[in-house]
Structure 1
Amino acid sequence: MNGDKGPTLASLSSQDVGSKDSGKIFGNLIETSRNLPTTSSELGTILLSVNEIKKRAHELREKSKPKRDHTRAHYLLAGSGLAIQDVESSLKALKSRKLIEQNVISRDSDSDLDTYLRTKKDENILSSIERSLASAAKDFDNFVNQNFNLDWEQRKEEVRENFGILVKRRKGDRLLAKDGADASPPTWGETGRAILDGESRLNVNENFTTRTKFENYAKIINSFNNARQTEVEFPLAKEITESLTRSANAVNRQLPEAWKILEHARESNDVVNKSKEFLEAQFLEYVDNLYRKNSSEGLPTNVNKVKSFIDHKLKNPNNTWKYGNLTIVNGVPIWAFIFYLLRAGLAQDALEVAIANKLSFKKVEQSFLTYFKAYVSSVDRKLPNEFVTRLHTEYNQHIKNALDGDPFRLAVYKIIGRCDLTRKNISSITLSIEDWIWIHIMLIKENNSSDYPLYEKYDLTDFQTIVTSYGASVFNGSYIIVLMLSGLYELAVQNAMTINEIDAVHLAIALAHYNKLKISTYGKDTLSELISTNEGKTELNFAKLLGNYTKSFKFSDPRIAVEYLILINLGGNKDAANVCHEALRELVLETKEFTILLGKVNRDGTRIPGVIEERQSLLSLSDEKDFLHKITEQAARRADEDGRVYDSLLLYQLADEYDIVIRIVNKLLSDLLSNTDLAQPLLNTDDNNETSPVLIAKKLINVYVNNLEIAQKIHSKNKEICILLLKVVDIRRSYYTQNWHETLEMIEEIDLIPLVDEASSRRRAQEFSNLGPEITKNIPKLLIITMTCVSKIIKALNHSEYQSSAKTQQVEALKRLGKNCMIYAGMIQYRMPRETYSILINLEVGL
């Protein structure tokens, strides 16, 4: 020891110690303590509560309690020069400064023991909460990472597909719906054409006039569909023509005429003959009206009516003829007379007039009567081939270039013999547009032989080319009529759109009904243009036309929208049917008018069909039930994705997916129970069967259980969960009305909370995860209800005036019940909201 270089206890004299402040010794101790392990030490930190430190300090003091006999200390310190009285004085100084605790906790004190136990329990709770939060945070991070990656993969695949990049799928890859059923992703139409999102700006509700026209047409279309469904003939063209005639609204002249043309030609696709007949009948009607307005001499025969027409139209006010080279016989221009009789479709009368006046014909005209007889007697009003060459020769030599020739004679020769087809117009005669069309139609000859020279060929296609080359400006507000008479129905609809879209749409409907339209084939890109050309033929996109029109009232009148969209299938081919079905899907999903379109479910579970189901016979369905099921299920999925739970409930019922319905109701009911405060009622006075999960569940369980066919489609576990949740509803009602005993009995009956013994509590805790999320999320509130009931009953018993052993036993039984409940709660505490266990502990302490 003497060899040590540093100062030692022996080197310190008692004088040195006594001369220093007693605090200096402990200052050295503090300085030395800095060498102890810190938080950066590998030893870690010491986590002791205040009470634990107090306890250990007390134990240390008991073990090292100083004795008054300092003999051994005297020997130890004898050579050090440290006086024992100085040590005692230092200890007294420390006590005076309260650096050493004077009052220690007695291990036998009841109050201290309660404090210790309570504090220990709080520490356990806090520690459990910290571990639970750490675990939850870790689980959440894992969940986010997994789902983010999955979502990204899905989005990447969708983007690749949208850009036309083929994605190789593993065999068997399928999208599982939320309910676990095997299902493909909902596609709202096979091609995604958005049929109801066209560019039309029509608003049928814009004003009273437009709305009235819309409603009048809608009534006719409804009647038309009714007739189609019952397979009864319906005069669509006649109905609309009469409607336009009765209408007080201003209607463009072309549209009523277009309907008359269609009505006349509805039963035949022979454009040439039907247009000829219409023009001749129209002219004769005009002649008849003119005759009636003017008092004319003679009997009202067709011949006399035409003669009267000639007098009014070909004479000047001074009673002279407008054409100077007319051949006048008995005061009548004979060639004009024959011409207009032919124009009125009176060929036989024209022949009789020619025979009666044959002596007036010039020498070069003597053979005309032979040609004319052959022409009139032919079935197709065409000159037989044996007379064609002779008539053409006479026409070219004597008629065509005659300076003083009658212009109507040239017209008659040209019509009968189809002469000089390189010049089809007759410029020397003033003709109306209808006259011009009639002459061209008279010159048309279909099925020309290949032996015919090119200049003698003139068919309907040639005439149509002339019409389209002239365009609308040439025909002075009669272009639609010209197009209809020349068989260019698609262009007629297109031009009618520029006048009035509503009228044009219905013209197209009638044309499609009578098989007059060439309708586009429906591929992925054909909904972009209303009119297109395919292999030289003009085609109308009928689906686009109806989709554009329906867009204007699909929200205000979805029932009427169905009536129009089913007309897409007028053609009856597979493509049209598919597009029709697609349009109906769009209508259902966009308007969300599920009750109107798809139907509803009565209180007794019976279905009332919607308008689509009512019209299903017009939809060319291979499997009617399958289509309605698919369209309803797709609508249900969309409603579910959009968060419209009550809509999805209705739709899944209509789709006969009763098990999904029960699962949705279970979730609604479970959420209501778990999210509603215990101090609040589950049912309000304004709740009804359409919005209250409780009332919905009661109604459905009542209907489904009593209907064997439906009950068989529901999984027994889902049905049991619904019934159990409804029992929890009854428990909540009883608890809200403070019927503690009844509530406790009902809780015991459902057998979710273990109340018997500790073993049952442990078993229930192990089975907790098997209960299903709808039940487990309501266990915390059931525990609170149970402990509250126990607490309230014990409190009432303790405050009762009488004392008995039975009361004591009852209180003890209730406490055991509460203890079992708390054992169960302690084992599942990490699966409950953090505040639930604190509430339960407070209730337990108060027992």
Structure 2
Amino acid sequence: MNINSQISSDTMLSAFQNDAKTSGSTSKSSSKLFNELLETSKNLPSTSSDLGAILLSVNEMKKRAQEMRKTIPHDSNHTKAHYLLAGSGLEFHEIESSLKNLKSSELLTEQRVAQGYNDGDLDTYLHIKKDENILSSIEQSLSLAAKDFDNFINQNFNLDWKQRKDEVRESFGILVKKRQDSSNYDTTNLAPLDPNGPIFWGKPPGSGILDGDLNSNVNGNHILREKFEKYAKIIYRFNNSRQSHNDDFQLTKEFIAIFQNTTDSKYRQLLDGWEIIDNATNQSPNIVEFSKKYLENQFLSYVDNLYSKNPSEGLPTNVNKIRAFIDLKLKTGENTWKFNNLTIVNGIPVWALIFYLLRAGLPQDALEVVVNNKLSFKKVEQSFLTYFKAYVTSPDHRLPQEFVSRLHTEYNQHIKNTLDSDPFRLAVYKIIGRCDLTRKNISSITLSVEDWLWIHLMLIKDDMDMDDPVYERYTLSDFQHTVVSYGEYMFKNYYLQALLLSGQYELAVQYSYKINEIDAVHLAIGLAANGMLHVSSYKKDELISVNDGQTRINFVKVLGNYTKSFKYSDPRIAVEYLILIALVNEKEQIEWAYEALRELILETKEFTILLGKINSEGIRIPGVVEERRPLLQLEDQKDFLYKITEQAARRADEERRIHDSLLLYQLSEEYDIVMSIINKLLGELLSSTDLNQSLFRLNDNSETNYVLMAKKLIEVYINNIEISKKVQARNKETCIVLLKLADIRASFLARQWQNTLQQIEDLDLIPFTDESSTRKRAQEFTHLDENILKNIPNLLIITMLCISNIIKQLNESDYQSLTKKQQIDSLKRVAKNCMIYAGMIQYKMPRETYSILINIEVGL
């Protein structure tokens, strides 16, 4: 059924129903029949969505029914109705009779309408009709607009809305956390943004140091760009301070300022991480000692802050501050505590006080508490004062072996398994005696993440004797494995700090990629600047690798990947980052810094910005890279020119990037190489261009045309004495000859035969009048510079064509004189000399050249 049929059918059903209601003469059987028809029509297939809904007034339906009836011939066999009503259960002859009854009813209705007009209701009818037309137009417009909008959406927005939401969030700089299946979580691979994508070294584009897989494009949105610029300014000032040997610049404090006002828990990790790194600067290289001290100072600062908000009676001594802390954290009422089995002395839980004084890094204060309360200790605790005094006074806070054995015995017999034992007593014994290391946690005490880390650090002993039993061994390496095995899931938003405090700086950088990639890069820079980062060779594909038990990070890759998104938009800033590769003062890293800079130079082609330029007076104006020479350990300019500029020029030459290699050799002050290249280019241009074709193109300039380029260079190289000394005389002479050949070509193309011939004679490359020198010139042919040599065949052809044209002009002239005959004879002698010369060297010229020369000579 076509669309018109569908519309007609639906409209007819409505019209039939209305006509049946208005006609008083319609029989009950007809009404019943059409009621059945109406009900049955509900089983018909619905129209397509393109038709829209039919919402018409009664008068509009009557009008459309009348128009449709007019289009149906009187003798119609109602074929379409057959299709329409097929399967409806109605007999067609019954329908036909009903239609006849409706027709008579229609005549009655028309008569009544006509009478209504005569009765003065025409204005009312027209008013109603107008309103119906307006409403109909509005409905039709809305329907079409809705349909067009739906079609547009279907055609243009076939999207995964989850993905679209993530893209919108990322465009505003909101971190979109990648989902992971927690059941398959691997703590050895902590970077879901895949910073470990492989980079393959080689010549193809997109495979170098600067083509990594950083997901964040610093030019992607305003927020990222703003963060990028903040970091870039810090790095620029950092490099300035390094170059001027200014020790006042504090890199980590600059980075801390970026996160100072952050409230996001993820970014709070970075702030805490930077504070750890800042505290590690100029501190003991011993990771355990530094981390313990950091956690103790952090806790004491927290206690001080808490005390300032809730001051208690008495002097603000360390002991009173810790007592106030205990009251706030452990008391549940006036004389009630969270733990039922605390040892209370004068209203103070004495073991908790000792524990938290140790936690705050106040062992001397803790010793005073022990001494003052020695009479309060139980019988089994009487020897504790001896142990604790030995522990506090020991330089490394280690007990003598004899005390260790006795303390372990008392711990195992009287403290470890006592049900009503004070949990803080157990914790203190465990810490000072390193007891029961098979169970390092103290489950009966609610510990923060910082407390947990501190206790584990207190239990570490790296200077283990081989005779020590296995169960008493707990090293930094063991602790590091414990932290990684628990992973991010256990530490939540403290995992970065846990990695840093356990000395796993490389894994801390890898994990921070999950927080923010740009921040992760700068975390690596901060760690490298403080000498805390172990780096791997760039040849390794992984971001993180383990060599000889030492975790290493691919620092070259970290910085190379980062500069990927702005190396073209901000090449100056890219330089500031790439020279940081040499922060790790290792020979291999420095070499990779050189390679990264060469790659940046060749990819961006920003030669003037990066390497500088040599002006028309031959004076060198340095670029960004040269200004940073001291940071690359390239104090000598010659060393810089060789290792950076000239090597880049050689690479461009190997890749047949002629213009780039010319500029780079020029900047590396390899002027003789520049002259050799330009001679080669000019020689090829002259020898390969048709004689009737110009050597110049529209809009040519000294940077695009080899002739103009050679003229500019030869002028500088001859006029500047210092540069002229660096260029071989043969190369300069060759360039001058080639430029004269270019002038000859220009005169020849302008049909200046006499002038062209004079220029050729002045050039003195081929024999003109001296027949005796012909053989000598033929012998010298092979000794000519190859760039000149390849142009001799064209020069001979130009000479012969000029002679031919001059002779032709003379022969066509009207005057006859002895001078005219002498001119022609002289020209023919020149042609003869040229042919003799060409015959001697014909096998050193293209095969067709000699044939062309013979044909020209025959026509003379």
Cα 1:532–1:683, aligned 2, differ >3 Å: closer, same or farther?
closer
Q: Could you tell me how far apart the structure 2 residues matched to 1:303 and 1:842 are? A: 115
Please give the per-residue CA displacement for 1:42-90, whole angstroms capped at 9, x wherever unaligned: xxxxxxxxxxxxxxxxxxxxxxxxxxxxxxxxxxxxxxxxxxxxxxxxx
Asked if residue 505 in structure 1 is aligned to residue 521 in structure 2, the reply is: yes
Asked if residue 468 in structure 1 is aligned to residue 484 in structure 2, the reply is: yes
Name the structure 2 match of 1:212.
226
Query: What is the one-letter code of the residue matched to 2:218?
Result: V
Q: Could you tell me how far apart the structure 2 residues matched to 1:274 and 1:795 are? A: 100
Query: What is the one-letter code of the residue matched to 1:211?
Result: R
Name the structure 2 match of 1:657.
670
Please give the per-residue CA displacement for 1:253-285, whole angstroms capped at 9, x wherever unaligned: 322222211221232211111111110111122
Q: Could you tell me how far apart the structure 2 residues matched to 1:754 and 1:367 are? A: 118
1:755, 1:818 within 8 Å by CA — same for their partners in 2? no
Q: Could you tell me how far apart the structure 2 residues matched to 1:421 and 1:630 are? A: 56
Name the structure 2 match of 1:181.
none
Cα 1:383–1:596, aligned 2, differ >3 Å: closer, same or farther?
same
Q: Could you tell me how far apart the structure 1 residues matched to 2:474 and 2:529 are? A: 30
Aligned equivalent of 2:425, options 404, 409, 412: 409
Query: What is the one-letter code of the residue matched to 1:422?
Result: T
Aligned equivalent of 1:719, options 716, 729, 732: 732
1:484: Cα distance to partner?
A: 1.4
Secondary structure class of the residue paired with 1:600:
strand
Cα 1:340–1:799, aligned 2, differ >3 Å: closer, same or farther?
same
Name the structure 1 match of 2:34.
none
Secondary structure class of the residue paired with 1:289:
helix
Please give the per-residue CA displacement for 1:273-302, whole angstroms capped at 9, x wherever unaligned: 111111011112222333344565555554
Asked if residue 239 in structure 1 is aligned to residue 254 in structure 2, the reply is: yes
Cα 1:836–1:756, aligned 2, differ >3 Å: closer, same or farther?
same
Name the structure 2 match of 1:486.
502
1:645: Cα distance to partner?
A: 1.6
Query: What is the one-letter code of the residue matched to 2:238?
Result: F
Secondary structure class of the residue paired with 1:245:
coil
Asked if residue 642 in structure 1 is aligned to residue 655 in structure 2, the reply is: yes
Please give the per-residue CA displacement for 1:777-818, whole angstroms capped at 9, x wherever unaligned: 5446555665666677778878989x695xx51563255225
RMSD of the alignment, in Å? 4.0
Query: What is the one-letter code of the residue matched to 2:291?
Result: S
Secondary structure class of the residue paired with 1:569:
helix
Structure 2: gaps of 5 or more residues: 1-200
Matches within 5 A, 1:803-822: 808-809=818-819, 812-814=822-824, 816-821=826-831
Moved more, 554-563 or 251-260: 554-563
Matches within 5 A, 1:308-319: 308-316=324-332
1:614: Cα distance to partner?
A: 3.7
1:408: Cα distance to partner?
A: 1.8
Q: Could you tell me how far apart the structure 2 residues matched to 1:631 and 1:666 are? A: 25
Q: Could you tell me how far apart the structure 2 residues matched to 1:659 and 1:360 are? A: 94
Matches within 5 A, 1:553-568: 553-568=566-581
Q: Could you tell me how far apart the structure 2 residues matched to 1:667 and 1:644 are? A: 14
Matches within 5 A, 1:46-61: none
Cα 1:251–1:399, aligned 2, differ >3 Å: closer, same or farther?
closer
Name the structure 2 match of 1:530.
543
1:188, 1:585 within 8 Å by CA — same for their partners in 2? no
Matches within 5 A, 1:51-450: 195-233=209-247, 234-245=249-260, 251-267=266-282, 268-294=284-310, 300-316=316-332, 320-358=336-374, 360-385=376-401, 387-450=403-466
Query: What is the one-letter code of the residue matched to 2:520?
Result: A
Q: Could you tell me how far apart the structure 2 residues matched to 1:390 and 1:577 are? A: 56
Cα 1:630–1:513, aligned 2, differ >3 Å: closer, same or farther?
closer
Secondary structure class of the residue paired with 2:526:
helix
1:659, 1:713 within 8 Å by CA — same for their partners in 2? yes
1:496: Cα distance to partner?
A: 2.1
1:351, 1:372 within 8 Å by CA — same for their partners in 2? yes
Q: Could you tell me how far apart the structure 1 residues matched to 2:264 and 2:351 are? A: 43
Please give the per-residue CA displacement for 1:659-700, whole angstroms capped at 9, x wherever unaligned: 332222123323444455666665567333322222321222
1:491: Cα distance to partner?
A: 2.3
1:371, 1:383 within 8 Å by CA — same for their partners in 2? yes
Query: What is the one-letter code of the residue matched to 1:259?
Result: W
1:482: Cα distance to partner?
A: 1.4
Cα 1:706–1:498, aligned 2, differ >3 Å: closer, same or farther?
same
Cα 1:373–1:248, aligned 2, differ >3 Å: closer, same or farther?
closer
Query: What is the one-letter code of the residue matched to 1:817?
Result: L
Q: Could you tell me how far apart the structure 2 residues matched to 1:668 and 1:272 are? A: 66
Cα 1:770–1:421, aligned 2, differ >3 Å: closer, same or farther?
closer
Please give the per-residue CA displacement for 1:322-378, whole angstroms capped at 9, x wherever unaligned: 222223344443322332222122333333444444554444444444443443333
Query: What is the one-letter code of the residue matched to 1:813?
Result: Q
Asked if residue 747 in structure 1 is aligned to residue 760 in structure 2, the reply is: yes
Name the structure 2 match of 1:61.
none
Moved more, 240-249 or 488-497: 240-249
Please give the per-residue CA displacement for 1:590-636, whole angstroms capped at 9, x wherever unaligned: 55544444443332233344444444444456987457425544433
Moved more, 243-252 or 428-437: 243-252
Q: Could you tell me how far apart the structure 1 residues matched to 2:399 and 2:655 are? A: 73
Name the structure 1 match of 2:838.
828
Cα 1:761–1:844, aligned 2, differ >3 Å: closer, same or farther?
farther
1:740, 1:789 within 8 Å by CA — same for their partners in 2? yes
1:761, 1:821 within 8 Å by CA — same for their partners in 2? no
Aligned equivalent of 1:774, options 787, 792, 800: 787
1:826: Cα distance to partner?
A: 7.3
Q: Could you tell me how far apart the structure 2 residues matched to 1:280 and 1:588 are? A: 49
Query: What is the one-letter code of the residue matched to 2:589?
Result: A
Query: What is the one-letter code of the residue matched to 2:219?
Result: N
Cα 1:625–1:373, aligned 2, differ >3 Å: closer, same or farther?
same
Q: Could you tell me how far apart the structure 2 residues matched to 1:666 and 1:838 are? A: 27
Name the structure 2 match of 1:6.
none
Q: Could you tell me how far apart the structure 1 residues matched to 2:372 and 2:595 are? A: 67
Pair member with larger Rg: 1
Matched length: 652
1:438: Cα distance to partner?
A: 0.8
Q: Could you tell me how far apart the structure 2 residues matched to 1:684 and 1:710 are? A: 30
Moved more, 645-654 or 385-394: 385-394
Cα 1:833–1:319, aligned 2, differ >3 Å: closer, same or farther?
farther
Identity %: 60
Name the structure 2 match of 1:149.
none
Name the structure 1 match of 2:20.
none
Q: Could you tell me how far apart the structure 2 residues matched to 1:250 and 1:429 are? A: 26
Please give the per-residue CA displacement for 1:364-419, whole angstroms capped at 9, x wherever unaligned: 44444444344333333344555444444443343333333322222223223333
Query: What is the one-letter code of the residue matched to 2:255?
Result: I
1:310: Cα distance to partner?
A: 2.3
2:594, 2:643 within 8 Å by CA — same for their partners in 1? no
1:264, 1:278 within 8 Å by CA — same for their partners in 2? yes
TM value normalised by structure 2: 0.66
TM value normalised by structure 1: 0.67
Structure 1: gaps of 5 or more residues: 1-186
2:559, 2:577 within 8 Å by CA — same for their partners in 1? yes
Asked if residue 605 in structure 1 is aligned to residue 618 in structure 2, the reply is: yes
Query: What is the one-letter code of the residue matched to 1:638?
Result: R
Secondary structure class of the residue paired with 1:479:
helix
Aligned equivalent of 1:629, options 625, 639, 642: 642
1:518, 1:538 within 8 Å by CA — same for their partners in 2? yes
